[in-house]
Homo-oligomer: A and B are copies of this chain.
Protein backbone atom coordinates (compact mmCIF):
# COMPACT_ATOMS: atom_id res chain seq x y z
CA UNK A 1 0.00 0.00 0.00
CA UNK A 2 1.33 3.44 -0.85
CA UNK A 3 1.79 5.53 2.27
CA UNK A 4 0.81 9.08 3.07
CA UNK A 5 3.57 11.03 4.78
CA UNK A 6 2.36 11.67 8.35
CA UNK A 7 2.88 15.32 9.26
CA UNK A 8 1.52 18.05 11.48
CA UNK A 9 0.66 21.43 9.96
CA UNK A 10 3.19 24.16 10.49
CA UNK A 11 2.11 26.61 13.19
CA UNK A 12 0.38 23.83 15.14
CA UNK A 13 2.05 22.75 18.38
CA UNK A 14 2.04 19.01 18.93
CA UNK A 15 4.10 17.88 21.89
CA UNK A 16 5.92 14.69 22.73
CA UNK A 17 4.49 12.90 25.79
CA UNK A 18 6.80 14.29 28.49
CA UNK A 19 6.35 17.85 27.22
CA UNK A 20 2.60 17.35 27.08
CA UNK A 21 2.60 16.40 30.75
CA UNK A 22 4.47 19.61 31.51
CA UNK A 23 2.01 21.64 29.46
CA UNK A 24 -1.00 20.00 31.11
CA UNK A 25 0.47 20.66 34.54
CA UNK A 26 0.62 24.36 33.72
CA UNK A 27 -2.98 24.31 32.51
CA UNK A 28 -4.02 22.57 35.72
CA UNK A 29 -2.28 25.20 37.86
CA UNK A 30 -4.00 27.99 35.95
CA UNK A 31 -7.38 26.28 36.36
CA UNK A 32 -6.81 25.94 40.08
CA UNK A 33 -5.59 29.51 40.46
CA UNK A 34 -8.49 30.99 38.54
CA UNK A 35 -10.90 28.84 40.57
CA UNK A 36 -9.46 30.16 43.83
CA UNK A 37 -10.68 33.61 42.83
CA UNK A 38 -14.23 32.46 42.20
CA UNK A 39 -14.13 32.12 38.43
CA UNK A 40 -16.35 29.45 36.91
CA UNK A 41 -15.18 27.42 33.91
CA UNK A 42 -16.76 27.89 30.49
CA UNK A 43 -16.29 25.96 27.30
CA UNK A 44 -17.70 27.50 24.15
CA UNK A 45 -17.70 25.98 20.64
CA UNK A 46 -14.65 26.39 18.45
CA UNK A 47 -16.91 27.07 15.49
CA UNK A 48 -19.37 29.95 15.40
CA UNK A 49 -21.57 31.43 12.71
CA UNK A 50 -19.37 33.97 10.90
CA UNK A 51 -22.09 36.58 11.18
CA UNK A 52 -21.98 36.24 14.97
CA UNK A 53 -18.24 35.89 15.43
CA UNK A 54 -17.40 38.72 13.07
CA UNK A 55 -20.18 41.08 14.22
CA UNK A 56 -17.53 43.67 15.05
CA UNK A 57 -15.97 43.13 11.66
CA UNK A 58 -12.98 44.72 9.99
CA UNK A 59 -9.43 44.98 11.09
CA UNK A 60 -6.34 42.86 10.90
CA UNK A 61 -8.03 39.93 12.59
CA UNK A 62 -10.51 39.24 9.85
CA UNK A 63 -7.82 38.39 7.34
CA UNK A 64 -6.45 35.77 9.70
CA UNK A 65 -9.75 34.05 10.39
CA UNK A 66 -10.32 30.43 9.41
CA UNK A 67 -13.63 30.94 7.64
CA UNK A 68 -15.43 28.42 5.45
CA UNK A 69 -18.78 27.18 4.23
CA UNK A 70 -20.35 23.92 5.40
CA UNK A 71 -23.37 23.40 3.19
CA UNK A 72 -25.08 26.80 3.20
CA UNK A 73 -23.65 27.90 6.52
CA UNK A 74 -20.88 30.47 6.78
CA UNK A 75 -18.66 29.36 9.65
CA UNK A 76 -15.56 30.68 11.41
CA UNK A 77 -13.17 29.31 13.98
CA UNK A 78 -12.86 31.49 17.07
CA UNK A 79 -9.78 33.73 17.06
CA UNK A 80 -10.00 34.67 20.73
CA UNK A 81 -12.09 33.81 23.78
CA UNK A 82 -13.53 37.30 24.28
CA UNK A 83 -15.96 37.43 21.37
CA UNK A 84 -17.43 34.01 22.28
CA UNK A 85 -17.77 35.29 25.86
CA UNK A 86 -19.60 38.38 24.65
CA UNK A 87 -21.94 36.18 22.63
CA UNK A 88 -22.46 33.84 25.59
CA UNK A 89 -23.24 36.59 28.05
CA UNK A 90 -25.61 38.38 25.67
CA UNK A 91 -27.34 35.13 24.78
CA UNK A 92 -27.63 33.80 28.34
CA UNK A 93 -28.04 37.13 30.10
CA UNK A 94 -31.21 36.04 31.88
CA UNK A 95 -29.59 32.87 33.21
CA UNK A 96 -26.43 34.45 34.58
CA UNK A 97 -25.76 36.13 37.90
CA UNK A 98 -23.69 39.30 37.83
CA UNK A 99 -20.89 40.05 38.45
CA UNK A 100 -20.25 37.03 36.27
CA UNK A 101 -16.75 35.67 36.71
CA UNK A 102 -15.64 33.08 34.20
CA UNK A 103 -12.42 31.51 33.09
CA UNK A 104 -11.84 29.70 29.85
CA UNK A 105 -8.73 27.87 28.72
CA UNK A 106 -9.02 26.79 25.13
CA UNK A 107 -7.62 26.82 21.65
CA UNK A 108 -8.08 29.71 19.24
CA UNK A 109 -7.13 30.03 15.59
CA UNK A 110 -5.35 32.70 13.60
CA UNK A 111 -3.95 32.11 10.15
CA UNK A 112 -0.83 34.18 10.74
CA UNK A 113 2.23 33.80 8.60
CA UNK A 114 4.03 30.80 10.04
CA UNK A 115 7.29 31.62 11.73
CA UNK A 116 9.26 30.28 14.66
CA UNK A 117 7.35 30.78 17.91
CA UNK A 118 4.19 31.96 16.14
CA UNK A 119 1.23 29.62 16.23
CA UNK A 120 -1.92 29.32 14.19
CA UNK A 121 -3.57 27.13 16.79
CA UNK A 122 -2.84 28.22 20.32
CA UNK A 123 -4.25 28.14 23.82
CA UNK A 124 -5.49 31.22 25.55
CA UNK A 125 -6.16 31.17 29.29
CA UNK A 126 -8.61 33.95 30.02
CA UNK A 127 -10.49 35.33 32.96
CA UNK A 128 -13.13 38.04 32.86
CA UNK A 129 -15.40 39.65 35.43
CA UNK A 130 -18.54 41.04 33.83
CA UNK A 131 -20.81 43.48 35.61
CA UNK A 132 -24.42 44.28 34.80
CA UNK A 133 -24.39 48.05 34.25
CA UNK A 134 -21.65 48.70 36.82
CA UNK A 135 -18.52 47.05 38.07
CA UNK A 136 -16.57 48.08 41.15
CA UNK A 137 -12.95 49.23 40.86
CA UNK A 138 -11.92 46.55 43.38
CA UNK A 139 -12.22 44.02 40.56
CA UNK A 140 -9.51 45.90 38.71
CA UNK A 141 -7.42 45.90 41.87
CA UNK A 142 -7.76 42.13 42.19
CA UNK A 143 -6.40 41.30 38.74
CA UNK A 144 -2.70 41.86 39.55
CA UNK A 145 -3.03 39.46 42.47
CA UNK A 146 -4.42 36.79 40.16
CA UNK A 147 -1.58 37.33 37.70
CA UNK A 148 0.93 37.26 40.53
CA UNK A 149 -0.45 34.11 42.06
CA UNK A 150 -0.77 32.34 38.70
CA UNK A 151 2.81 32.94 37.60
CA UNK A 152 4.18 32.29 41.08
CA UNK A 153 2.31 28.98 41.24
CA UNK A 154 3.86 28.08 37.88
CA UNK A 155 7.27 28.82 39.36
CA UNK A 156 8.10 32.06 37.58
CA UNK A 157 9.94 34.55 39.77
CA UNK A 158 11.45 37.32 37.69
CA UNK A 159 8.35 38.92 36.22
CA UNK A 160 6.65 42.24 36.60
CA UNK A 161 3.01 43.26 36.27
CA UNK A 162 2.87 46.69 34.64
CA UNK A 163 -0.26 48.70 35.11
CA UNK A 164 -1.65 51.90 33.70
CA UNK A 165 -5.08 53.50 33.43
CA UNK A 166 -6.59 54.60 30.15
CA UNK A 167 -8.44 57.47 31.85
CA UNK A 168 -5.12 58.92 32.92
CA UNK A 169 -3.91 58.79 29.35
CA UNK A 170 -7.13 60.15 27.87
CA UNK A 171 -7.27 62.89 30.50
CA UNK A 172 -3.67 63.83 29.90
CA UNK A 173 -4.14 64.15 26.15
CA UNK A 174 -7.29 66.17 26.77
CA UNK A 175 -5.20 68.60 28.87
CA UNK A 176 -2.91 69.09 25.89
CA UNK A 177 -5.90 69.55 23.56
CA UNK A 178 -4.88 66.38 21.73
CA UNK A 179 -7.94 64.21 22.36
CA UNK A 180 -8.62 63.55 18.71
CA UNK A 181 -5.04 62.59 17.96
CA UNK A 182 -4.69 60.55 21.15
CA UNK A 183 -5.23 57.20 19.45
CA UNK A 184 -2.45 57.79 16.99
CA UNK A 185 -0.21 59.30 19.67
CA UNK A 186 -0.64 56.29 21.91
CA UNK A 187 0.19 53.93 19.08
CA UNK A 188 3.38 55.90 18.61
CA UNK A 189 4.19 56.05 22.33
CA UNK A 190 3.59 52.28 22.47
CA UNK A 191 6.79 51.93 20.43
CA UNK A 192 8.95 53.56 23.12
CA UNK A 193 10.45 50.26 24.24
CA UNK A 194 11.32 49.36 20.68
CA UNK A 195 12.56 52.57 19.06
CA UNK A 196 13.44 54.84 21.99
CA UNK A 197 12.27 58.34 23.00
CA UNK A 198 14.10 60.37 20.32
CA UNK A 199 12.54 58.46 17.49
CA UNK A 200 9.12 58.63 19.16
CA UNK A 201 9.42 62.38 19.52
CA UNK A 202 10.39 62.67 15.88
CA UNK A 203 7.34 60.65 14.83
CA UNK A 204 5.07 62.75 17.01
CA UNK A 205 6.30 65.98 15.48
CA UNK A 206 5.97 64.47 12.03
CA UNK A 207 2.35 63.71 12.96
CA UNK A 208 1.75 67.43 13.50
CA UNK A 209 2.40 67.97 17.21
CA UNK A 210 4.38 70.97 18.37
CA UNK A 211 7.81 70.39 19.86
CA UNK A 212 6.35 71.49 23.17
CA UNK A 213 3.47 68.99 23.03
CA UNK A 214 5.82 66.20 22.03
CA UNK A 215 8.11 67.21 24.89
CA UNK A 216 5.24 67.17 27.38
CA UNK A 217 4.23 63.72 26.23
CA UNK A 218 7.73 62.34 26.56
CA UNK A 219 8.10 64.03 29.91
CA UNK A 220 4.91 62.37 31.02
CA UNK A 221 5.83 58.91 29.85
CA UNK A 222 9.25 59.34 31.45
CA UNK A 223 7.64 59.47 34.89
CA UNK A 224 9.08 56.35 36.45
CA UNK A 225 10.22 55.09 39.82
CA UNK A 226 8.63 53.30 42.74
CA UNK A 227 4.84 53.14 42.53
CA UNK A 228 4.38 55.77 45.19
CA UNK A 229 6.78 58.11 43.38
CA UNK A 230 4.87 57.76 40.13
CA UNK A 231 1.54 58.35 41.85
CA UNK A 232 2.97 61.44 43.59
CA UNK A 233 4.26 62.81 40.28
CA UNK A 234 0.83 62.21 38.75
CA UNK A 235 -0.79 64.14 41.60
CA UNK A 236 0.97 67.17 40.09
CA UNK A 237 -1.45 67.01 37.16
CA UNK A 238 -4.57 66.75 39.34
CA UNK A 239 -7.38 69.28 38.94
CA UNK A 240 -6.85 70.00 35.27
CA UNK A 241 -9.11 67.29 33.83
CA UNK A 242 -11.92 65.30 35.40
CA UNK A 243 -11.23 62.07 33.53
CA UNK A 244 -7.57 62.26 34.49
CA UNK A 245 -8.47 62.72 38.14
CA UNK A 246 -10.82 59.77 38.03
CA UNK A 247 -8.14 57.60 36.44
CA UNK A 248 -5.64 58.69 39.07
CA UNK A 249 -8.11 57.75 41.82
CA UNK A 250 -8.56 54.34 40.23
CA UNK A 251 -4.83 53.76 39.84
CA UNK A 252 -4.31 54.83 43.45
CA UNK A 253 -6.96 52.35 44.60
CA UNK A 254 -5.48 49.53 42.54
CA UNK A 255 -2.05 50.25 44.03
CA UNK A 256 -3.39 50.67 47.56
CA UNK A 257 -4.81 47.16 47.80
CA UNK A 258 -1.75 45.37 46.43
CA UNK A 259 -0.35 44.46 49.82
CA UNK A 260 -3.66 43.06 51.10
CA UNK A 261 -3.85 41.02 47.92
CA UNK A 262 -0.39 39.63 48.62
CA UNK A 263 1.39 41.22 45.65
CA UNK A 264 4.92 42.37 46.50
CA UNK A 265 6.00 45.83 45.32
CA UNK A 266 8.83 44.19 43.37
CA UNK A 267 6.37 42.51 41.03
CA UNK A 268 4.18 45.49 40.29
CA UNK A 269 4.94 48.71 38.47
CA UNK A 270 2.82 51.65 37.50
CA UNK A 271 3.95 52.23 33.91
CA UNK A 272 2.55 55.16 31.97
CA UNK A 273 3.73 53.85 28.60
CA UNK A 274 1.23 51.01 28.58
CA UNK A 275 -1.90 51.63 26.53
CA UNK A 276 -3.10 48.34 24.96
CA UNK A 277 -5.82 47.74 22.33
CA UNK A 278 -6.72 51.33 21.83
CA UNK A 279 -10.47 51.36 21.38
CA UNK A 280 -11.57 48.62 23.65
CA UNK A 281 -10.06 49.38 27.05
CA UNK A 282 -11.37 52.22 29.18
CA UNK A 283 -9.75 51.92 32.61
CA UNK A 284 -6.94 49.91 34.17
CA UNK A 285 -4.72 48.11 31.67
CA UNK A 286 -2.23 45.36 32.38
CA UNK A 287 0.87 43.89 30.83
CA UNK A 288 3.23 41.35 32.31
CA UNK A 289 6.84 40.96 31.27
CA UNK A 290 9.59 38.51 32.05
CA UNK A 291 12.36 40.68 33.45
CA UNK A 292 15.07 38.59 31.84
CA UNK A 293 13.28 38.35 28.52
CA UNK A 294 11.71 41.69 27.67
CA UNK A 295 12.05 40.80 24.00
CA UNK A 296 9.19 38.32 24.38
CA UNK A 297 6.76 41.11 25.11
CA UNK A 298 3.79 40.74 27.41
CA UNK A 299 2.94 37.24 28.64
CA UNK A 300 -0.33 38.28 30.26
CA UNK A 301 -2.34 41.31 29.19
CA UNK A 302 -5.75 42.78 29.57
CA UNK A 303 -7.74 45.56 31.08
CA UNK A 304 -11.01 47.17 31.93
CA UNK A 305 -13.64 47.73 29.25
CA UNK A 306 -17.05 49.37 29.36
CA UNK A 307 -18.99 47.35 26.84
CA UNK A 308 -18.38 43.66 26.43
CA UNK A 309 -21.23 42.84 24.09
CA UNK A 310 -22.36 45.99 22.35
CA UNK A 311 -22.64 44.17 19.02
CA UNK A 312 -25.18 41.76 20.47
CA UNK A 313 -27.16 43.64 23.11
CA UNK A 314 -28.18 47.06 24.39
CA UNK A 315 -27.27 45.97 27.89
CA UNK A 316 -24.28 47.80 29.30
CA UNK A 317 -21.84 45.07 30.33
CA UNK A 318 -18.59 46.51 31.71
CA UNK A 319 -15.82 44.13 32.59
CA UNK A 320 -12.20 43.50 33.28
CA UNK A 321 -10.18 40.60 31.99
CA UNK A 322 -6.78 39.23 31.22
CA UNK A 323 -5.44 36.62 28.85
CA UNK A 324 -2.36 34.43 28.90
CA UNK A 325 -1.12 33.20 25.53
CA UNK A 326 -0.25 29.81 26.88
CA UNK A 327 1.10 28.08 23.79
CA UNK A 328 3.51 30.88 23.01
CA UNK A 329 4.51 31.12 26.67
CA UNK A 330 5.22 27.39 26.75
CA UNK A 331 7.26 27.64 23.57
CA UNK A 332 9.33 30.45 25.06
CA UNK A 333 9.80 28.65 28.38
CA UNK A 334 11.01 25.54 26.61
CA UNK A 335 13.18 27.54 24.27
CA UNK A 336 14.80 29.46 27.11
CA UNK A 337 15.33 26.40 29.31
CA UNK A 338 12.78 27.32 31.96
CA UNK A 339 10.92 24.01 32.06
CA UNK A 340 11.54 21.94 35.16
CA UNK A 341 12.48 18.56 33.76
CA UNK A 342 13.00 17.26 37.29
CA UNK A 343 9.27 16.97 37.84
CA UNK A 344 7.81 13.56 37.12
CA UNK A 345 6.63 13.28 33.51
CA UNK A 346 6.30 9.48 33.45
CA UNK A 347 2.97 8.02 32.39
CA UNK A 348 3.03 5.79 35.48
CA UNK A 349 4.46 5.87 38.99
CA UNK A 350 5.07 2.16 39.14
CA UNK A 351 5.80 -0.48 36.55
CA UNK A 352 4.69 -3.90 37.78
CA UNK A 353 6.74 -6.75 36.31
CA UNK A 354 5.04 -10.12 36.67
CA UNK A 355 7.61 -12.92 36.86
CA UNK A 356 5.08 -15.76 36.74
CA UNK A 357 2.92 -17.06 33.95
CA UNK A 358 -0.30 -16.47 35.84
CA UNK A 359 -0.72 -12.70 35.91
CA UNK A 360 -3.42 -12.68 38.60
CA UNK A 361 -1.16 -11.69 41.52
CA UNK A 362 0.44 -8.88 39.50
CA UNK A 363 -2.95 -7.65 38.37
CA UNK A 364 -4.31 -7.77 41.91
CA UNK A 365 -1.32 -5.77 43.13
CA UNK A 366 -1.71 -3.17 40.36
CA UNK A 367 -5.40 -2.92 41.26
CA UNK A 368 -4.46 -2.29 44.87
CA UNK A 369 -1.93 0.40 43.89
CA UNK A 370 -4.51 2.12 41.69
CA UNK A 371 -7.08 2.05 44.46
CA UNK A 372 -4.54 3.91 46.58
CA UNK A 373 -4.21 6.54 43.84
CA UNK A 374 -0.85 5.32 42.54
CA UNK A 375 -0.55 5.21 38.76
CA UNK A 376 0.43 1.68 37.89
CA UNK A 377 1.19 -0.12 34.67
CA UNK A 378 1.61 -3.85 34.26
CA UNK A 379 4.31 -4.84 31.79
CA UNK A 380 3.29 -8.29 30.58
CA UNK A 381 4.79 -8.21 27.10
CA UNK A 382 6.96 -11.08 25.91
CA UNK A 383 10.20 -9.17 26.42
CA UNK A 384 13.46 -9.84 28.15
CA UNK A 385 13.82 -8.67 31.72
CA UNK A 386 16.45 -6.12 30.69
CA UNK A 387 14.17 -4.65 28.07
CA UNK A 388 11.44 -4.18 30.64
CA UNK A 389 13.77 -2.31 32.98
CA UNK A 390 14.93 -0.23 30.05
CA UNK A 391 11.27 0.56 29.29
CA UNK A 392 10.85 2.01 32.80
CA UNK A 393 14.14 3.89 32.45
CA UNK A 394 13.26 5.46 29.14
CA UNK A 395 9.91 6.67 30.45
CA UNK A 396 11.42 7.78 33.78
CA UNK A 397 8.95 5.63 35.68
CA UNK A 398 10.21 6.03 39.26
CA UNK A 399 9.43 2.58 40.70
CA UNK A 400 9.49 -0.98 39.45
CA UNK A 401 7.86 -3.84 41.34
CA UNK A 402 9.02 -7.42 40.72
CA UNK A 403 6.51 -10.09 41.53
CA UNK A 404 7.94 -13.59 41.35
CA UNK A 405 7.06 -16.89 43.01
CA UNK A 406 9.08 -15.95 46.09
CA UNK A 407 7.24 -12.71 46.62
CA UNK A 408 3.86 -14.28 45.93
CA UNK A 409 4.57 -17.07 48.41
CA UNK A 410 5.72 -14.66 51.10
CA UNK A 411 2.97 -12.14 50.42
CA UNK A 412 5.40 -9.35 49.55
CA UNK A 413 6.41 -7.22 46.61
CA UNK A 414 9.97 -6.26 45.65
CA UNK A 415 9.95 -2.49 45.13
CA UNK A 416 12.88 -0.90 43.34
CA UNK A 417 13.51 2.83 43.22
CA UNK A 418 15.07 3.29 39.78
CA UNK A 419 16.72 6.59 40.68
CA UNK A 420 18.60 5.33 43.75
CA UNK A 421 18.69 1.61 42.90
CA UNK A 422 17.39 0.89 46.39
CA UNK A 423 15.25 -2.25 46.56
CA UNK A 424 12.96 -3.33 49.41
CA UNK A 425 10.65 -6.29 49.93
CA UNK A 426 7.41 -5.20 51.56
CA UNK A 427 3.87 -6.45 52.06
CA UNK A 428 1.58 -4.71 49.54
CA UNK A 429 0.07 -2.19 51.98
CA UNK A 430 3.54 -1.11 53.10
CA UNK A 431 4.73 -0.98 49.51
CA UNK A 432 1.89 1.43 48.78
CA UNK A 433 2.91 3.69 51.67
CA UNK A 434 6.60 3.47 50.71
CA UNK A 435 5.90 4.48 47.12
CA UNK A 436 3.41 7.17 48.11
CA UNK A 437 6.01 8.80 50.38
CA UNK A 438 8.59 8.73 47.62
CA UNK A 439 6.19 10.21 45.10
CA UNK A 440 5.17 13.03 47.44
CA UNK A 441 8.80 14.06 47.53
CA UNK A 442 9.29 13.72 43.79
CA UNK A 443 6.13 15.62 42.88
CA UNK A 444 7.17 18.71 44.74
CA UNK A 445 8.25 21.65 42.70
CA UNK A 446 6.85 23.87 40.01
CA UNK A 447 6.65 23.35 36.25
CA UNK A 448 8.85 26.40 35.68
CA UNK A 449 12.32 26.59 37.15
CA UNK A 450 13.28 30.24 37.37
CA UNK A 451 16.85 30.37 38.59
CA UNK A 452 16.95 34.13 38.78
CA UNK A 453 15.92 36.03 41.90
Please report A residues at the B interface, Cβ cutoff 8 Å: 1, 3-9, 12-17, 20-21, 23-24, 35-49, 51-52, 55, 66, 68-71, 73, 75, 86-88, 90-92, 95-97, 99, 101-102, 107, 109, 111, 121, 131, 134-136, 138-139, 141-142, 145, 149, 256-257, 259-262, 309-314, 347-348, 351, 359-361, 363-364, 367, 370-371, 373-382, 391, 394-395
Contact = CB atoms under 8 A, between A and B. Distances in A.
A260 to B, nearest CB: 4
12 contacts: A3-B314, A5-B312, A6-B88, A8-B87, A9-B45, A12-B47, A14-B45, A38-B376, A70-B111, A131-B381, A135-B381, A142-B378
Contacts of A310: 1
A35 B370 CA distance: 9
B138 A6 contact: no
Contacts of A312: 3-6
A375 B260 contact: no
In the A-B complex, list the 5 residue pairs whose CB atoms are closest, starting with the nearest. A38-B377, A68-B68, A38-B348, A40-B347, A260-B363
A405 B284 CA distance: 30
Copies of this chain assembled into the complex = 2
A37 B311 contact: no
Nearest to A352: B38
A347 B4 contact: no
B15 A375 contact: no
Given A36-B370, A260-B364, A49 B9 contact: yes
Contact of A121 (B4, B45, B256, B391): B45
A311 B4 contact: yes
Contact of A347 (B16, B38, B257): B38
B17 A40 contact: yes
A370 B309 contact: no
B46 A24 contact: no
A203 B140 CA distance: 70
Contact of A39 (B14, B75, B347): B347
A416 B43 CA distance: 32
A31 to B, nearest CB: 9
